[in-house]
Structure 1
Amino acid sequence: MQESAAIAISKSNIAALAFLFWDMLINLSDEIEYMWRARNTWVKWAYLYIRHFPIFGIASMVILNTGVGIAGRFTPRQCIGWLVVQGCILLSVVLLVDAILILRIYVLFARNRALLVTLVIAFVIEASSTIICSALAVPRMTLGSKCLILKAPRVYTGNWLASMGMQTILFILTCYRFYTSVDRRLGTRSILHILIRDGIWAYAFIFVAALTNVLLLRLQQSVISGICFPWAIVAFSFAGSHLQLNVVKELVHPSIPSNILTSTEMELGTIGNANAPL
């Protein structure tokens, strides 16, 4: 049973890696033009991290969990360490995506400091909850061969719920800004339209990936409960990178005349890109 589960998880890891690598390749020309040549800001480097680091992270999972059987020779303590590494890969991507989304919300709401403080507090709560839940849960997990999770304590779902809650807050704020702004009448390609369009599918992708992991951990409680873990990394990497790239592409080569771009839209363009309209 554990051998067949290990094979299924390995296939899931390979599929996740192939999806991210394929998406990176087909968007590489846009990435070079709009992101690699952008000015050096933390947002640019955050984008590059979100886009490329998960590929190496999932590749390491493939190497350790495929037929070579490296994880099968791990001691229980080494398995715990490997779970911590996987958790850190996901957490780093999640927090960077959230930080960029918070920055976008801050600009969209005309640099409202009260809102920024509130979101930063929510961000800290999310990060703290995830770290605490993981720290409490990982040592209490029941592990099988090849570091497969046989049973996870209930507290482990807290890190997923924290992320789902934060994403929901950011999505609601984006929708609110869209439906209360006159900019939504500028046309189907205004920046706010792009934000809400991408925000809907990105939120759905991330939410479904997180919810699937929660349900597998709580309801399945079997050796395949971690089969969708790499897809949570994929969801944040794919959504976070495309949300940023699509906005920058529109601002560098707008489909609406630059003279009717709002100050908010132009300000968004200066974040992480040296070629955005000023």
Structure 2
Amino acid sequence: MVSINEVQAAQGTAHAGVASITFVLYDILLNLGNEIDLIWTGRNHWTRLLYLVVRYAPLCVLCSLLMLVVHGVAWNPERCVVMLVYQNIAIQSLTLAVELILLSRVYAMYGQNRTLLLSLSAFLVVEVGSMVGVLSVTIPEFRMTEGCVVTLTPRLFSFYWILPLAFETTLFTLTLYKFVTSIAERSVLGRRNSIMFVLMRDGTWAYAIIFVAMLLNTVFYAVETTPLAGVGFSWEIATLSFAGSHVLLNTRRIAWYPQGTSFWTNATAEFSASKFENNWAARGIDLVDVERRWIGEELVLRVAD
């Protein structure tokens, strides 16, 4: 017998799903012009693929989940397991795509340091493998309603969210360190449109909103015992989509419109959008090794081949 509280909680979760879809769709329409100019006019297929994953795949996932709720599928234990696997594969794939974007930024900021790249890549592989392991162990212990809505997860499932938080915290720490040391080298705070300031700014707000979304989702699943436990799931997907797509758009904007970017005091900028496109370091995300060298009082920023 389903209680009134469970029905209300399920409705609240469904409303959260509708709100997250509205937010993602609104953001897509709002930035459609920038998307056409900065993403679809380039030659880099990896950029387009990653953008598709972080921008449109989340909308498809959210809509599909809502349609399943609206049409009232006749659930059984086997179908519930399939649904859980689908949800978690979707959010894990989205998380991985966003982390690849953030990792590439860090790799570029540290001058294509291969040791750093290998270390972070190993960390990422361990993270993904551990998340798959945690998911395979914990799914049989999930408690769900007759409508296949998760109401309670085992404590071990918290690591499913803690692991990506740990990786993204590492990336943010590396970004912050590079920004601080760059300032210390010249004792000048980068202007608002400087390359380092933009990388630091985007890294900070993206990390902050992803951290909050994942943390709230973890807390809901840990303490809530009604269908309301999943209220943060759709918003985590929406947050990852927003963060990944906007970080990518902002990075492309730096590549394509360097003339609109002002740099540190007494600094000149030498950028080449075509080199951004072809640089191996970006691997399709338009992030390059920003080689910094001082010539008298001028800081020359150029894209390394």
Q: Which position in structure 1 is the counterpart of 2:54?
A: 50
The TM-score with structure 1 as length reference comes to: 0.91
Structure 1 residues 16 and 7, CA gap change in structure 2 (3 angstroms):
same
Structure 1 segment 2-21 matched on structure 2, within 5 A:
2-21=6-25
Aligned pairs for 1:133-212 within 5 A: 133-182=134-183, 185-212=189-216
How many angstroms apart in 2 are the aligned matches of 1:170 and 1:140?
A: 32
Measure, in 1, the Cα distance between the counterparts of 2:15 and 2:285.
Answer: 37
Deviations 1:133-185 (A, max 9, x none): 11111111111121111221111111100011111011111111111115874
Please give the alpha-carbon distance, in whole angstroms, between the structure 1 residues aligned to 2:57 and 2:164.
19
Report the Cα distance in structure 2 between the residues aligned to 1:181 and 1:26, rounded to whole angstroms: 34
Task: Provide the aligned C-alpha RMSD in A.
Answer: 2.5
Closer/same/farther in 2, CA of residues 252 and 264 from structure 1, 3 Å limit: closer
Work out the CA distance in 1 between the residues paired with 2:166 and 2:139. 22
Higher deviation after alignment, 28-37 or 245-254: 245-254
Kept in 1, the 8 Å contact 2:105–2:199? The answer is no
Gaps of 5+ in 1: none
CA distance in 2, matches of 1:273, 1:164: 22
Q: Cα deviations across residues 103-133 of structure 1 (Å, max 9, x unaligned)?
A: 1111110011111111001101110111111
Does the alignment pair 1:256 with 2:261?
yes
CA radius of gyration, larger in = 2
Identity %: 31
CA distance in 1, matches of 2:63, 2:40: 23
Count of residues in Structure 1 that have an aligned counterpart in Structure 2: 274
Q: Measure the CA separation in 1 of the matches of 2:256 and 2:25.
A: 25
AA of the residue aligned to 1:175? L
Q: Counterpart amino acid of 1:69?
A: G
Are 1:142 and 1:152, in contact at CA under 8 Å, matched by a contact in 2?
A: yes
Indicate whether 1:111 and 2:112 are aligned.
yes
**Counting strand residues as a fraction of each chain, which structure ranks higher?**
2
Alignment-mate amino acid for residue 11 of structure 2: I
Question: 2 CA distance for matches of 1:186 and 1:7?
Answer: 48
Task: Map 1:225-240; keep pairs closer than 5 Å.
Answer: 225-240=229-244
Higher alpha-carbon deviation: 40-49 or 262-271: 262-271
SS at match of 2:151: strand
SS in structure 2 of the partner of residue 221 of structure 1 = coil
Tell me the secondary structure at the aligned position of residue 165 of structure 1. helix
Alpha-carbon distance, 1:194 to partner:
1.0
Larger proportion of helix = 1
Distance 1:111 1:273, change over 3 A: closer
SS of corresponding position for 1:23: helix
